[in-house]
Amino acid sequence: MIALLLPLAVQAQHRLPVKRDVAMEGVVNFRDMGGYVTTDGLRVEMGKLYRSGDLSQITDNDLEELKRRKIYTVIDLRSQKESALAPDRLLPGADYLALPLDSWNDSAVLLQQRSGMETMTALYADISHFKEIFRPFFEKLVTLPDTSAILIHSSLGKDRAGIAAALLLYALDIPVETIFSDYAASNFFRKNHNDAVVEECTKRYGIEHDKALQLTEAHPSYLQATFTAIIGKYGSVEAFFNIELGVDEMVKMILRRKFL
């Protein structure tokens, strides 16, 4: 079971010896998920798994960086509305898979009724669409060509991408403390952008400052809400992987061979 000792899981990722952040001109929170050590001492390969915010403002130099890193497979977790308003800019011939987690469109309604933290916790705890989103997500990972790296992204690169990254790292047998550390690192890599978002929320939309802060934060209790909901419904994360995602021990072995 996922431990509830959240303070143990928030060690800052940027203090770890592996440099994962990728400098991009038009993309926020772009990170390599390699370098993490599994429970049995193996290490996730660098240059194969990436996570970020959306790619709608990507520059020509950024495209060259994608090409250099062989990022030809992109999974977009934004809602259909978000993707339509700000389409990704990709490399020619890129394998693009939209897996819209549209339930996050309800955040505005929730926000009217609850605090920022309550809103985010409710969104993270809603696992009703996880099968339709994350089963094809893992199917894409299993069939990823050896010549291609994969990028998982959402709008801000911290929430939906954070959940996807957490599930992937869990499937690779990365310790829970490390998974939460990777999640919380968005607070470091998005700090300047978050400050601008908070200011816009308060001035343009009239959202209280504290509530806006809670919306932009990658708080461990949010991700904990996802795991708690999974365990509450299925009894364990492993059962959820098997029942809903088709990720059994054989699939996990394939993933470990591909990415470790």
Rounded Cα distance between 215 and 122, Å, is 12
The region of weakest confidence among 20-24, 72-76, 89-93 is: 20-24
Strands 95-98 and 71-76 turn out to be parallel
pLDDT digits (tens, 9 = 90+) for 46-89: 999 999 999 999 999 999 999 999 999 999 999 999 999 999 99
- The answer to whether residue 11 scores a pLDDT higher than 50 is no
| The amino acid at 212 | A
> Model pTM?
0.90
pLDDT digits (tens, 9 = 90+) for 150-194: 999 999 899 999 999 999 999 999 999 999 999 999 988 877 766
Which CATH number, 3.90.190.10, 2.40.30.110, 3.30.450.40, 3.40.605.10, labels domain 6-259?
Answer: 3.90.190.10
Percent of the chain exceeding pLDDT 90 equals: 70
CB neighbour list of residue 69: distance below 8 Å, 6 or more residues apart? 22, 47, 50, 149
Q: Which of 188, 185, 151, 183 lies closest to 169, judged by CA? A: 183
